[in-house]
Amino acid sequence: MVVILKNNPDEAQLQSLIHWLETKNIQVTQSLGESNHILGLIGDTSRIDMDLIGALDIVESVRRIQEPYKKANRKFHPDDTVITVKGTTIGNGELALIAGPGAVENDEQMLQIAQAVKAAGATILRGGAFIGRSSPYSFQGLGKEGLDALVKAGIATGMPVISEIMRISQLDYFKDVDIIQVGARNMKNFDLLKELGKSDKPILLKRGLSATYEELLMSAEYVMSQGNTNVILCERGIRTFETYTTNTFDISTIPVLKSLSHLPVVADPCHASGRAALVAPLAAASVAAGADGLMIEVHPDPTHALSDAKQQISPAAFADLAETLKTIRNTVKPQ
């Protein structure tokens, strides 16, 4: 941490600040110039509140140098985290293909799609049971019944399953779900993250619409600080001024997070774009940029899907795409 002082700082206040920092085991070095004075803070500053220091009369600004996340930080954990669930691996050079319908509609639909995506190369089955919609008048998902259909289809086809949780009290329903997804809207629902940190299931954490890389990693840190280190990070688009796509897919997230953190990174091109025609090029781009996996919404009859109709692709399109993705993966895979 670096503290930039105002000109001519009050000497008593300066000594008081330095003394206080030293009681926190922070070593302070000073760079005193004509027009600015800089304090360098050395030691574990992750528990020092920047705001407290920034509010002092003698301080002009404070800048963090160390990342505030520890457990998610590649500097302290150089080796990739590899997650294995029911024999399927995420990370370690494998390409995880998470596929399934936006919303679970019924047992038959779920089983039919599960078989289709499995045949096309999917490794993990997805399906929305609790669905957050911006209007209280829209379809909100089948709930527990939807989770049951998803779990049954997963068992029938031998794939682990993933679904999104909305609130802590739903945790009981997820006991047979293999991976729990936290949606973009809940990325900063810290109470929910802490509860999931006590679970033994992998957590797929989606980036919030206006979350920075550091904020996403701090949300992962919330989960990991409670003991659950099996976190998968997911880029799904951010909100910008461009409205042609639902969100702006931030492809840089993939190589950046892979360098800052040891956690696996997957991409969701469907929510990012909101347009079926963009799913294939964005999926291909994600793999080329180093993604460990993809989450893709697949529906046998997208135009009759109950949710997110515009962004789902057919099983045939998914099968074609899976082939392309594997080829690109082999091209860019580090030897």
Residues in region 277-296 near its own copies by CB under 8 A? 277-278, 281-282, 284-290
CB of 178 to its own copies, least distance (A): 23
Structure tokens at 311: 């962004």
CA dihedral 264, 209, 318, 310 (to 10 degrees): 170
What's the start-to-end Cα distance of the chain, in Å? 37
Please say which residue, 9 or 154, places its beta carbon nearer to its own copies.
9
Q: Alpha-carbon distance 83 to 102, whole Å?
A: 24
Query: How many residues contact its own copies, by CB under 8 A?
Result: 106
Interface with its own copies (CB under 8 A), residue from 90, 159, 272, 298: 272
CA angle, residues 218, 289, 309, in degrees to nearest 5: 80
Interface with its own copies (CB under 8 A), residue from 105, 164, 178, 221: 221
Q: Does 239 bind its own copies (CB under 8 A)?
A: yes
Q: Alpha-carbon distance 83 to 91, whole Å?
A: 7
Please say which residue, 123 or 186, places its beta carbon nearer to its own copies.
186
Residue 62 has, within 13 A of its CA and on its CB side, a CA count of 17
Instruction: Give me the amino acid identity at 237.
Output: G
- Binding to its own copies (CB under 8 A) within 192-211 occurs at 192, 194, 208-210
Please say which residue, 153 or 260, places its beta carbon nearer to its own copies.
260
Q: Does 138 bind its own copies (CB under 8 A)?
A: yes
Q: Which residues make beta-bridge pairs with 61?
A: 4
Q: Alpha-carbon distance 207 to 257, whole Å?
A: 11
3-state secondary structure of 52: helix
- Binding to its own copies (CB under 8 A) within 77-96 occurs at none
Instruction: Give me the amino acid identity at 42.
Output: I
Q: Does 232 bind its own copies (CB under 8 A)?
A: no
**x-or-dash string of contact with its own copies, 38-77, rule CB under 8 A:** x-x-xx--xx-x-xx-xxxx---x-x-xx-x------x--
Stretch binding its own copies (CB under 8 A), from 83-91, 104-112, 114-122, 180-188: 180-188
Q: Does 331 bind its own copies (CB under 8 A)?
A: yes
